[in-house]
Chains A and B, each alone.
Chain A
Amino acid sequence: MIRMENVTKVYKGEVLALQNASCEVQRGEFVFLVGPSGSGKSTFMRLLNKEEKPDRGRVYVAGKDIGQLPSWKVPFLRRNIGCVFQDFKLLPNKTVVQNVAFALEVIGRPRGVIKEKVPAILELVGLSKKMHNYPDELSGGEQQRVSIARAFVNRPLILLADEPTGNLDPNTSLGIMTLLDRINRTGTTVVMATHDRSIVDKMRRRVVELDRGQIVRDQSRGVYE
Chain B
Amino acid sequence: MSLKLDYVLRETASNFRRNITLTLATVITVTISLTLLGAALLFGDAVDNATVRWKDGVEFIVFMDPEISPELEEDVRRQLEDAPEVSGFTYIDKDEAYAEVQDLLGDSPELVEVITPERLPASFRVKPTDTLPERVDELAAAFRTQPGVARVVTASETIRAIEDLSSGLRQRVIIIAIVLLVAAAVLILNTIRMALFSRRRDIEVMKLVGATNWFIRVPFMFEGLIQGLIGGVIAIPLIWLTNNFFSVINDDVSLELLRGFTVDPSRVWALGFQMVGLGAIVGTVGSGIAVSRFLDT
Please give the residue numbers on chain A whose beta carbons come within 8 Å of chain B beta carbons, in ascending order.
49-51, 71-72, 74-80, 83, 89, 91, 93, 102-103, 105-108, 111, 150-151, 154
Closest to B11 in A: A105
CB distance from A159 to the nearest CB of B (A): 13
Binary CB contact string for chain B from 208 to 224 against chain A (1 if under 8 A, 0 otherwise): 11111101100000000
Q: Are A91 and B202 in contact (CB under 8 A)?
A: yes
Q: Are A150 and B209 in contact (CB under 8 A)?
A: yes
Q: Are B3 and A89 in contact (CB under 8 A)?
A: no
CB contacts under 8 Å to A, within B205-250, are 205-213, 215-216
Q: In the complex, which residues of chain A have a beta carbon less than 8 angstroms from the beta carbon of B293?
A: none
Q: Are B2 and A89 in contact (CB under 8 A)?
A: no
Query: How distant is the Cα of A54 from the Cα of B215 in the complex, in angstroms?
Result: 27
| Interface residues on chain B, number (Cβ under 8 Å) | 23
B3, B204, B210: which contacts A75 (Cβ < 8 A)?
B210
CB distance from B40 to the nearest CB of A (A): 41
Q: Are A106 and B206 in contact (CB under 8 A)?
A: yes
Task: Describe B's contact surface by its main secondary structure.
Answer: helix
Q: Are A74 and B211 in contact (CB under 8 A)?
A: no
CB distance from A47 to the nearest CB of B (A): 13
Determine whether B4 belongs to the interface, using a CB cutoff of 8 Å to chain A: yes
CB distance from B201 to the nearest CB of A (A): 7
CB distance from A65 to the nearest CB of B (A): 17
Q: Are B216 and A108 in contact (CB under 8 A)?
A: no
Q: In the complex, which residues of chain A have a beta carbon less than 8 angstroms from the beta carbon of B6?
A: 111
Query: How distant is the Cα of A105 from the Cα of B213 in the complex, in angstroms?
Result: 14
B7, B208, B211, B297: which contacts A71 (Cβ < 8 A)?
B297
Q: Are A79 and B209 in contact (CB under 8 A)?
A: yes
CB distance from B211 to the nearest CB of A (A): 4
Query: How distant is the Cα of A79 from the Cα of B205 in the complex, in angstroms?
Result: 12
CB distance from B55 to the nearest CB of A (A): 56
CB distance from B76 to the nearest CB of A (A): 77
Q: Which of B1, B7, B14, B208 has the most CB of A within 10 A?
A: B208
Q: Are A89 and B204 in contact (CB under 8 A)?
A: yes
Query: How distant is the Cα of A171 from the Cα of B216 in the complex, in angstroms?
Result: 38
Q: Are A74 and B206 in contact (CB under 8 A)?
A: no
Q: In the complex, which residues of chain B have a beta carbon less than 8 angstroms from the beta carbon of A74?
A: 297
List 28 A-B pairs, Cβ < 8 Å: A49-B208, A50-B297, A72-B213, A74-B297, A75-B210, A75-B212, A75-B213, A78-B208, A78-B209, A78-B210, A79-B210, A80-B210, A83-B208, A89-B201, A89-B205, A91-B202, A91-B205, A103-B209, A105-B4, A106-B7, A106-B211, A107-B209, A107-B215, A108-B2, A108-B3, A111-B6, A150-B209, A154-B210
Top-8 shortest CB links A-B: A79-B210, A78-B210, A106-B211, A103-B209, A75-B210, A75-B212, A106-B206, A105-B7
Q: Which of B1, B4, B210 has the most CB of A within 10 A?
A: B210
Query: How distant is the Cα of A80 from the Cα of B206 in the complex, in angstroms?
Result: 14
CB distance from B177 to the nearest CB of A (A): 39
Query: How distant is the Cα of A108 from the Cα of B215 in the complex, in angstroms?
Result: 8
